[in-house]
Protein backbone atom coordinates (compact mmCIF):
# COMPACT_ATOMS: atom_id res chain seq x y z
CA UNK A 1 0.00 0.00 0.00
CA UNK A 2 1.57 3.20 -1.19
CA UNK A 3 1.43 6.72 0.19
CA UNK A 4 -0.43 8.66 -2.50
CA UNK A 5 -1.43 12.23 -3.24
CA UNK A 6 -4.86 13.23 -4.43
CA UNK A 7 -6.62 16.50 -5.14
CA UNK A 8 -9.95 17.51 -3.68
CA UNK A 9 -11.87 20.65 -4.63
CA UNK A 10 -14.76 21.80 -2.48
CA UNK A 11 -17.02 23.19 -5.22
CA UNK A 12 -18.84 26.56 -5.19
CA UNK A 13 -22.17 25.11 -4.04
CA UNK A 14 -20.65 23.54 -0.93
CA UNK A 15 -18.57 26.61 -0.05
CA UNK A 16 -21.65 28.82 -0.41
CA UNK A 17 -23.63 26.50 1.90
CA UNK A 18 -20.88 26.72 4.59
CA UNK A 19 -20.01 23.05 4.28
CA UNK A 20 -16.22 23.50 4.14
CA UNK A 21 -15.64 22.35 7.72
CA UNK A 22 -17.97 19.37 7.51
CA UNK A 23 -16.34 18.18 4.28
CA UNK A 24 -12.77 18.50 5.59
CA UNK A 25 -13.91 16.66 8.73
CA UNK A 26 -15.12 13.76 6.56
CA UNK A 27 -11.92 13.71 4.48
CA UNK A 28 -9.77 13.63 7.62
CA UNK A 29 -12.07 11.01 9.13
CA UNK A 30 -11.45 8.84 6.06
CA UNK A 31 -7.73 8.79 6.87
CA UNK A 32 -6.59 11.57 4.56
CA UNK A 33 -4.09 14.22 5.67
CA UNK A 34 -4.37 17.79 4.41
CA UNK A 35 -0.92 18.68 3.04
CA UNK A 36 -1.95 21.84 1.15
CA UNK A 37 -4.97 24.10 1.15
CA UNK A 38 -6.02 27.24 -0.71
CA UNK A 39 -9.22 29.16 -1.18
CA UNK A 40 -10.12 31.37 -4.12
CA UNK A 41 -11.99 31.75 -7.36
CA UNK A 42 -10.90 29.75 -10.41
CA UNK A 43 -10.40 31.73 -13.60
CA UNK A 44 -12.05 30.47 -16.77
CA UNK A 45 -8.58 29.48 -17.99
CA UNK A 46 -7.88 27.49 -14.78
CA UNK A 47 -11.18 25.63 -15.06
CA UNK A 48 -10.82 24.94 -18.81
CA UNK A 49 -7.30 23.59 -18.35
CA UNK A 50 -8.14 21.58 -15.25
CA UNK A 51 -11.13 19.93 -16.93
CA UNK A 52 -9.52 19.72 -20.40
CA UNK A 53 -10.12 15.94 -20.40
CA UNK A 54 -13.88 16.70 -20.57
CA UNK A 55 -13.63 19.35 -23.30
CA UNK A 56 -15.67 17.33 -25.82
CA UNK A 57 -18.44 16.44 -23.36
CA UNK A 58 -21.82 18.17 -23.70
CA UNK A 59 -21.59 19.50 -20.15
CA UNK A 60 -18.09 21.07 -20.50
CA UNK A 61 -19.16 24.71 -20.94
CA UNK A 62 -21.62 24.48 -18.08
CA UNK A 63 -19.07 22.77 -15.86
CA UNK A 64 -16.52 25.55 -16.46
CA UNK A 65 -19.19 28.15 -15.81
CA UNK A 66 -20.25 26.41 -12.57
CA UNK A 67 -16.68 25.96 -11.31
CA UNK A 68 -15.97 29.67 -11.85
CA UNK A 69 -19.31 30.83 -10.38
CA UNK A 70 -18.04 31.12 -6.81
CA UNK A 71 -15.28 30.45 -4.36
CA UNK A 72 -13.71 27.00 -4.12
CA UNK A 73 -11.38 25.38 -1.58
CA UNK A 74 -8.56 23.34 -3.08
CA UNK A 75 -7.05 20.60 -0.94
CA UNK A 76 -3.93 18.54 -1.56
CA UNK A 77 -4.43 15.30 0.36
CA UNK A 78 -2.04 12.53 1.28
CA UNK A 79 -2.57 9.06 2.62
CA UNK A 80 -2.20 5.35 2.07
CA UNK A 81 -4.36 4.60 -0.98
CA UNK A 82 -5.45 8.24 -0.88
CA UNK A 83 -7.03 8.20 -4.36
CA UNK A 84 -9.44 5.36 -3.59
CA UNK A 85 -10.07 6.57 -0.03
CA UNK A 86 -11.07 9.98 -1.38
CA UNK A 87 -13.28 8.50 -4.14
CA UNK A 88 -14.98 6.26 -1.55
CA UNK A 89 -15.78 9.06 0.89
CA UNK A 90 -16.89 11.34 -2.01
CA UNK A 91 -19.49 8.94 -3.41
CA UNK A 92 -20.79 8.60 -6.97
CA UNK A 93 -20.79 11.54 -9.40
CA UNK A 94 -24.59 11.78 -9.25
CA UNK A 95 -25.53 12.52 -5.61
CA UNK A 96 -28.80 10.59 -6.11
CA UNK A 97 -26.70 7.46 -6.74
CA UNK A 98 -24.08 8.17 -4.06
CA UNK A 99 -23.94 5.78 -1.10
CA UNK A 100 -25.36 7.08 2.19
CA UNK A 101 -22.94 9.02 4.38
CA UNK A 102 -20.72 10.02 1.49
CA UNK A 103 -19.88 13.68 0.88
CA UNK A 104 -21.93 13.87 -2.31
CA UNK A 105 -24.94 12.13 -0.72
CA UNK A 106 -24.89 14.68 2.10
CA UNK A 107 -23.89 17.88 0.31
CA UNK A 108 -24.41 17.31 -3.43
CA UNK A 109 -27.27 19.21 -5.02
CA UNK A 110 -27.20 17.63 -8.49
CA UNK A 111 -24.90 15.85 -10.94
CA UNK A 112 -23.05 19.11 -11.63
CA UNK A 113 -23.20 20.81 -8.20
CA UNK A 114 -21.99 17.64 -6.53
CA UNK A 115 -19.99 19.34 -3.75
CA UNK A 116 -16.51 17.98 -4.45
CA UNK A 117 -13.98 17.04 -7.09
CA UNK A 118 -11.59 14.13 -6.54
CA UNK A 119 -8.71 12.80 -8.63
CA UNK A 120 -9.60 9.52 -10.37
CA UNK A 121 -6.18 7.84 -10.58
CA UNK A 122 -2.78 7.87 -8.88
CA UNK A 123 -1.26 9.59 -11.91
CA UNK A 124 -3.97 12.25 -12.02
CA UNK A 125 -3.60 12.74 -8.25
CA UNK A 126 0.05 13.69 -8.75
CA UNK A 127 -0.69 15.88 -11.78
CA UNK A 128 -3.71 17.63 -10.27
CA UNK A 129 -1.87 18.46 -7.03
CA UNK A 130 0.98 19.87 -9.13
CA UNK A 131 -1.53 21.89 -11.20
CA UNK A 132 -2.52 23.94 -8.14
CA UNK A 133 0.40 23.65 -5.68
CA UNK A 134 4.11 24.37 -5.83
CA UNK A 135 6.24 21.84 -3.94
CA UNK A 136 7.01 24.46 -1.24
CA UNK A 137 3.26 24.90 -0.56
CA UNK A 138 2.90 21.27 0.51
CA UNK A 139 3.44 20.45 4.18
The catalytic residue positions are 117
Q: Which of 120, 121, 126, 130 binds Mg ion (CB under 5 A)?
A: 120
Q: Does 111 bind ligand ADP (CB under 6 A)?
A: yes
Is residue 23 close enough to count as binding ligand ADP by CB under 6 A?
no
Judged on CB neighbours under 10 Å (0-12, 13-18, 19+), 69 is middle
Q: Does 98 sit near ligand ADP (CB under 6 A)?
A: no
CA dihedral for 22, 102, 74, 42, sign (positive or negative): negative
- Indicate whether 109 belongs to the interface with Mg ion (CB under 5 A): no
Residue 85: how many other CB atoms lie within 10 Å: 19
Is residue 131 close enough to count as binding ligand ADP by CB under 6 A? no
What's the min distance (Å) between Cβ of 120 and Mg ion?
5
Burial of 34 (0-12, 13-18, 19+ CB in 10 A): middle
Residue 5 φ/ψ, nearest 5 degrees: -110, 145
**Which part of the chain contacts ligand ADP (CB under 6 A), choosing from 12-20, 33-41, 70-78, 113-121?**
113-121
Out of Mg ion, ligand ADP, none, what residue 109 binds, judged by CB under 5 to 8 A for its kind, is none
Give the separation between CA 76 and CA 139, rounded to whole angstroms.
10
Which residue ranges make up the site for ligand ADP (CB under 6 A)? 54, 59, 63, 93, 111-112, 114, 117, 120
Amino acid sequence: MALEKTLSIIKPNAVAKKNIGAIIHMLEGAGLRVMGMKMGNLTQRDAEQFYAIHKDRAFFKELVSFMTSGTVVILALEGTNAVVKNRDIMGATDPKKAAPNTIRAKFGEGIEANAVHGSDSVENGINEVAFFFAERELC
